């Protein structure tokens, strides 16, 4: 995954790699994964859940009520990846609850799916205070967990909803409206990714529901056609 330079440096700092001081030849290269990232890549579902629940990799561990691991079918054909938990998600420990969650459930039902037939996760596993956007360092701290979830599910397609999700998954700062209607690919398995609007955005901007519906139909067609 390619990230802008400021994101790349923030990721390295979050993984414990000093990007400002020159390294000796015997020190690990900047693109080598940190030990805890390697460990996350070896976990099964139970171990990954435990690691997320006990995580203290960033300051959000101090303010959270619950971690929000993700829900759904662990062998689903597709994943939905959102942004970060809100207040209700933090209380319940489950992604996409409240009004946005109900809208997502309705959208899934409309194409014959449910949150039990897909796997739903977020870029962050902990709620940022005040529902602010995640800091780059916070997203970097959670990245190994999300990467492992994707590796375990092995989805045929990912639906990225919202700007925070799309920007972190794709390493871009393009607007969601410009990223829609294009097939992106990420990770070692070249997993296909479609981008759409976040359900919370749809609640604030009902006129965009038509576009989100078109995105779901596109996703459904790609899955039937083998993505």
pLDDT at 8 over 60: no
Q: What is the pLDDT of residue 9?
A: 52
Q: What is the pLDDT of residue 30?
A: 47
Looking at per-residue confidence, does 9 or 185 come out higher?
Answer: 185
**By residue range, what is the domain housing residue 189?**
5-224
Percent of the chain with pLDDT over 70: 83
Question: What would the two tokens of residue 210 be?
Answer: 């038509």
pLDDT at 28 over 90: no
Q: Where does the pLDDT of residue 37 fall: very low under 50, low under 70, confident under 90, or very high at 90 and above? A: low
Task: Give 91-142 pLDDT, tens digit per residue.
Answer: 999 999 989 999 999 999 999 999 999 999 999 999 999 989 999 999 999 9
Please give the backbone phi and psi of residue 192, each rounded to the nearest 5 degrees, phi first: -70, 140
Question: What would the two tokens of residue 7 be?
Answer: 């994101």
Task: Give 212-227 pLDDT, tens digit per residue.
Answer: 999 999 999 999 887 6
| CATH number of the CATH domain containing 168 | 3.40.470.10
Question: What would the two tokens of residue 130 be?
Answer: 């005040």
- Residues shown for the chain: 227
CA quadruple 143, 174, 185, 154: dihedral sign: positive
- The H or E element containing residue 135 is none
Task: Give 176-195 pLDDT, tens digit per residue.
Answer: 999 999 999 999 999 999 99
Q: How far apart are CA 163 and CA 16, in angstroms?
A: 27
Burial class (CB in 10 A: 0-12, 13-18, 19+), 39: middle
Question: What would the two tokens of residue 221 be?
Answer: 């067609």
Task: Give 71-102 pLDDT, tens digit per residue.
Answer: 999 999 999 999 999 999 999 999 999 899 99
Q: What is the pLDDT of residue 39?
A: 80
User: Residue written as tokens 């440096």?
Assistant: 9
Closest CA to 120 of 93, 99, 144, 94: 94
Contact 127, 89 (CB under 8 A): yes
Closest CA to 1 of 133, 189, 161: 189
Please give the backbone phi and psi of residue 33, each rounded to the nearest 5 degrees, phi first: -70, 150
Domains contained in the chain, number: 1
Please give the backbone phi and psi of residue 185, each rounded to the nearest 5 degrees, phi first: -135, 140
């Amino acid at each position: 995954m390619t990230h802008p330079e400021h994101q790349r440096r923030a990721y390295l700092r979050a993984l414990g790699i000093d990007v400002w001081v020159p390294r000796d030849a015997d020190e690990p290269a900047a693109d080598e994964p940190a030990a805890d990232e390697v460990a996350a890549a070896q976990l099964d579902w139970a171990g990954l859940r435990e690691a997320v629940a006990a995580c203290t990799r960033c300051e959000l561990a101090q303010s959270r009520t619950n971690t929000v691991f993700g829900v759904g079918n662990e062998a689903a054909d597709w994943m939905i990846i959102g942004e970060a938990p809100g207040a209700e998600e933090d209380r319940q420990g489950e992604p996409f609850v409240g009004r946005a969650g109900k809208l997502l459930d309705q959208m899934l039902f409309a194409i014959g799916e449910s949150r039990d037939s897909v796997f739903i996760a977020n870029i962050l596993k902990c709620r940022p205070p005040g529902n602010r956007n995640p800091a780059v360092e916070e997203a970097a701290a959670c990245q190994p967990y999300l990467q492992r979830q994707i590796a375990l599910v092995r989805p045929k397609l990912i639906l990225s909803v919202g700007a925070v999700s799309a920007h972190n998954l794709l390493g871009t700062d393009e607007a969601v409206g410009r990223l829609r209607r294009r097939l992106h690919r990420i990770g070692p398995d070249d997993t296909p990714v479609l981008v759409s609007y976040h359900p919370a955005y749809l609640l604030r901007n009902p006129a965009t529901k038509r576009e989100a519906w078109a995105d779901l139909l596109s996703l459904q067609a790609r899955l039937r056609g083998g993505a």
